[in-house]
Structure 1
Amino acid sequence: MKGTFILLTSILVLSCNQNTKTNQDENSETESNTKIKTEITENLDWLTGNWKRRNEEAGKETFENWEKISPNEYSGIGFSMQKGDTISQEKMDIIQTNGKWTLFVKMPNEKQATTFEMTELKNNEFTCSNDSIDFPKKIRYWIEGDKMKAKISNDEMEIPFEFEKVK
């Protein structure tokens, strides 16, 4: 009987220690997730500023201007000019809702924005996707040295962009 009591007491103590360790692990994981979300928000700050496309065709100039609205929202405008006239323009917003980032792209003649879910987010890089449209299905942005690069693509084609910061 005494041996059974010691055995049951040992199991109970080990069980309590395991629960405490599990709770500590869960708390540590929650703190880690919070830290990651904060770092991810900060990682989008590299996008901010005024950028000019370097690999544009002759006679055209393309720009993107990005600003941080809040820790959960970035807003951008992209436009191309030819002979001093704006020939294309798009409004872009990256918004975090319920821990998920979404890119919204809207042309002036569209009633609502096209949405792209952020499918990958690394340090100084992200990829957004929308498989329900023909082109682009993917939009990728990243920093390479002092350049910002982007690529829009689908399964058949891709268009690369290389930007430098305008001072």
Structure 2
Amino acid sequence: MKIIYILLVSTLAISCKQDTKNNQSENSAIETKTEIVDNFDWLNGDWKRLNDKDGKETFESWTKISPTEFSGIGFTIQKGDTISLEKMQLRKANDKWSFFVQTHEERTPIEFKITEIRNNEFICINDSLDFPNQIKYWFEDEKLKANVSNEEMDIYFEFKKIK
């Protein structure tokens, strides 16, 4: 009887230890997935728009300030003059990411709440605006891509990294 009791306790202890290892592995996988998803490093660098209208050149430059903040600037040049300029920022506060845009006409940045984050992609929304009320950024085929849209219109951007 003593032997059966010892075997039962040993089996139970091994089983519990194995469950703990499995749970730790699952938790590690979840944490790793979160770290990957929560990573916007693919934005870093200087980018030139490939699908600009003739006579225009558009650029974006992104810098990682900290793990919870990225800073960007976008501008378009035509005939040697800067015809548009906007400052952008990705910020995480209270475990939520937001995308901020400030054009040269705006005194304060406009906030877009990030609603979806995947590896190398995010979508953000601000329903209080007429246009754009949705912005999407993603990295695909070594290119930075973006789309600004509302229900009636969208503008597609495709950038290549410049040195």
Normalised by the size of structure 1, how large is the TM-score? 0.79
Q: Does 1:39 align with 2:36?
A: yes
Aligned residue number for residue 137 of structure 2:
141
Aligned counterpart, 2:46: 50
**Secondary structure, in 3 states, of the residue corresponding to 2:38?**
helix
Ranges in structure 2 where 5+ consecutive residues have no aligned partner: 1-18
Shift of 1:110: 1.2
Kindly report the root-mean-square deviation, in angstroms, between the aligned alpha carbons of the 2 structures: 2.1
**Offset at residue 141 of structure 1 (A):** 0.7
Any residues of structure 2 matched to 1:62-101 within 5 Å, and which?
Answer: 62-101=58-97
Whether the 8 Å contact between 1:79 and 1:87 is mirrored in structure 2 is yes
- Map Cα deviations across residues 84-139 of structure 1 (whole Å, 9 max, x no partner): 11110000000011111100000123111110011111111111111111000110
1:103 counterpart (87, 95, 99): 99
Distance of 1:54 and 1:116 partners within structure 2:
25
Q: Does the aligned pair in 2 maintain the 1:106–1:114 contact within 8 Å?
A: yes
Query: How far is 1:37 from its partner?
Result: 3.3
- Judge conservation of contact 1:66–1:75 (CA < 8 Å) in 2: yes
CA shift, 1:28, in A, is 7.2
* 1:112 to 1:29, Cα distance in 2 relative to 1, 3 A: farther
Find the counterpart in structure 2 of residue 130 from structure 1.
Answer: 126
Residue 146 of structure 2 is matched in structure 1 by: 150
* Residue type of the alignment partner of 1:38: E
Give 1:17's aligned residue. Answer: none
Match of 2:109 among 105, 113, 119: 113
Structure 1 range deviating more: 108-117 or 156-165? 108-117
- TM-score, normalised with respect to structure 2: 0.81
Listed as ranges, the gaps of 5+ residues in structure 1 are 1-20
1:37 aligned counterpart, secondary structure: helix
